[in-house]
Structure 1
Amino acid sequence: MGVAVAVYSSRFKYIFFANPQTASKAIAKTLQKSLDGHAMPDWDLRRDGDLQIKKHHATWQDLQDAGLMTREQLDELFKFTSVRNPYDLLVSRYLKRKGRFINEPKKYRWAQENPKIKASMDAAQEQPFAEWVAGQLHRHKEKGSTIKGPLEYLDHADYVIRFEALQAGFDEVLKRLGVNDPIPIVAENVTSERKEGAKKRHYTEFYDDASRELVGRVYAPIIERFGYKFG
C-alpha cells in the first residue's frame, strides 16, 4: 500500500491519478485506507512479455489503452489528481536521488534498476542542484520544448489538489464525494533530506538565476495554469 497508483472506488465513484511527487502516495494510501480505494491496476500489466502499463502512476490514457476502463466508464467517475510547484518539486526530486534512493538501496530497488533514474542519482552525487537540473532538462532547453508528463494527469482531472494546501484540497474532494466525516491525509514519503540541522531549507536556496529561468520556461504550462511563482 506504500506505492502511488491510480486508485478507484466503485462505491464512491471516483478515480485518483497519482501525479508523481505531489503527495500522491499519501493521498493514495489515505484513499485505500479510508475510502474503499483499490489500486487500478494492482499489477504491472504485460502482454507478450512487454510492459504495457505500470501500476505506478497509471494515467487516464493508460487505463484505456490497456483495456482496463473505457472512456464512458471514466466519464462517469469523479477524477482528481494533485499538483506541486515545479520549482519545489525538482528540489525534492534532487534530494531523494542524492539521499534516500542511494542510502536505502533495498527499499528503492526500482530506482536502482531504472537506467534513467540511476543516471540521475549518479549525477546528483557529484553535482550541485543548479548544475544537476540543467542536465536533467538539457533536451528541453535544446529543443525549446516544455514538460508534457504532468499534463497526462492534470488535463483529465475534474479537480486538482494543490500540494501546498494538501488537506484543504482533500477536504474539497470529500465534499464533492458526499463524505461528511473528516479524514486526515496520512504522512507518507516526506522529504526529510532538505533539513540542515533543525532548519528546513526553502527550495529557493537551491537555485541560481540560470536554473530558475530554465525551470520557469520548461514548466511554463503548469506554472501559468496554477499561478505558481518562484518564492
Structure 2
Amino acid sequence: MIISHRHRFIFAAVPKTGTHSVRQALREQLGDEDVEQVGLFVDKRFPWEDLAAIRHGHLSLRQVRPYLGEEVFSGYFKFAFVRNPFDRFVSYCAFMLRGGDDFQRRPHDMMRHFLFEEAPEGHVLFQPQASLLVGEDGETLLTDMVGRVENMQGAYDAICARLGIANRPLDRVNGSQRGDYRPYYDQTLIDGVAARYAQDLDLFGYSFEGLR
C-alpha cells in the first residue's frame, strides 16, 4: 500500500495484480511526507506500529482507515487493480510452487490441493481481492476507481490523469510467461474457483471467459 499526502491518494496493493509495476512507477512521484508498506523487492514500513508489524504490503483499506482519520480517508483518491480470479488463481498456484516443477507437471492436482484439500485460508495472496477493498459491511467498495490488469496501462494512465501526476509506461516486474489460464482448468476447478471467489466475480464483472 502507498499513502501519498502530496498527491492525496491511497493505492491498495491487491496481491497478484501487477502491484510492483504500479508501485515502481508511483514511487517516482512521491515526496518525503508520503509512506509505503511493502515486503518484496523493497522493504518499507508504515509509521504505525500495529500495521508495520504485519510485514507484508497488502493491507486492506479497512485496516488503514482508522490511522488516517475519516477526513483524510474520505478525501483521498483510493484505487486498486484487480484481475480475473481464474487467471489470478493459476498465478497464485504457480507462485506458491515456484522453485520446483510440481505445478508444471501436475497443474490440476496442485490446483485441487489449494482449492479443496489444504486451502490456505489465512494467506493474504489466497484471499478474495474484494476482502482488501470493501468496507465493514463486507460488500461496499471503498475505492474510487478499480483498474484491471487486463488493461493495466490504460487504467494507470487514467489514474495518473485523475491525480494530475505524470504517467509513464509500466515496467514488467515479477511477471511470468505462462500464457492463457483457461487450459489449466477442468469443470471441477472452474466450479471451485467460481464458488470461492464469487464476490470478486460479481463485484468486478468477470467470468471464466473474461469480462462479462
TM-score, length basis structure 2: 0.76
Please report how far the alpha carbon of residue 88 of structure 1 lies from its aligned counterpart in structure 2 after TM superposition: 0.5
Cα distance per residue 1:42-88 (max 9 Å; x no partner): 327656xx9743342122122245x3x22322111000011000110
Q: Kindly tell me: are residues 148 and 126 of structure 1, through their superposed partners in 2, closer, same or farther at Cα, counting changes over 3 Å?
A: closer
Answer yes or no: is 1:167 the counterpart of 2:167: no
Q: Kindly tell me: are residues 79 and 51 of structure 1, through their superposed partners in 2, closer, same or farther at Cα, counting changes over 3 Å?
A: closer
Equivalent pair of 2:93/2:114 in contact (CA under 8 Å): no
Please report how far the alpha carbon of residue 175 of structure 1 lies from its aligned counterpart in structure 2 after TM superposition: 1.7
Structure of larger gyration radius: 1
Answer yes or no: is 1:216 the counterpart of 2:194: yes
Answer yes or no: is 1:29 the counterpart of 2:29: no
201-210 or 149-158: bigger deviation: 149-158
What is the alpha-carbon root mean square deviation over aligned residues? Answer: 3.0
Instruction: Measure, in 2, the Cα distance between the counterparts of 1:133 and 1:76.
Output: 41
1:37-116 aligned within 5 A: 38-40=35-37, 42-43=44-45, 52-64=53-65, 67=67, 69-99=68-98, 102=99
The 3-state SS of whatever aligns with 2:161 is helix
The 3-state SS of whatever aligns with 1:15 is strand
129-138 or 78-87: bigger deviation: 129-138
Deviating 4+ runs (over 6 angstroms): none
Please report how far the alpha carbon of residue 13 of structure 1 lies from its aligned counterpart in structure 2 after TM superposition: 0.6
The 3-state SS of whatever aligns with 1:16 is strand
Q: Kindly tell me: are residues 62 and 139 of structure 1, through their superposed partners in 2, closer, same or farther at Cα, counting changes over 3 Å?
A: farther
TM-score, length basis structure 1: 0.70
The 3-state SS of whatever aligns with 2:3 is strand
Instruction: Measure, in 2, the Cα distance between the counterparts of 1:221 and 1:20.
Output: 16
Q: Kindly tell me: are residues 35 and 165 of structure 1, through their superposed partners in 2, closer, same or farther at Cα, counting changes over 3 Å?
A: farther
Correspondent of 1:158 among 132, 136, 144: 144
Task: Return 5+ residue gaps in structure 2 as ranges.
Answer: 39-43, 120-125, 135-141
Correspondent of 1:186 among 166, 171, 175: 171
Equivalent pair of 1:21/1:89 in contact (CA under 8 Å): yes
Please report how far the alpha carbon of residue 209 of structure 1 lies from its aligned counterpart in structure 2 after TM superposition: 1.1
Q: Kindly tell me: are residues 152 and 216 of structure 1, through their superposed partners in 2, closer, same or farther at Cα, counting changes over 3 Å?
A: closer
- The amino acid that maps onto 1:172 is A
Equivalent pair of 1:17/1:57 in contact (CA under 8 Å): yes
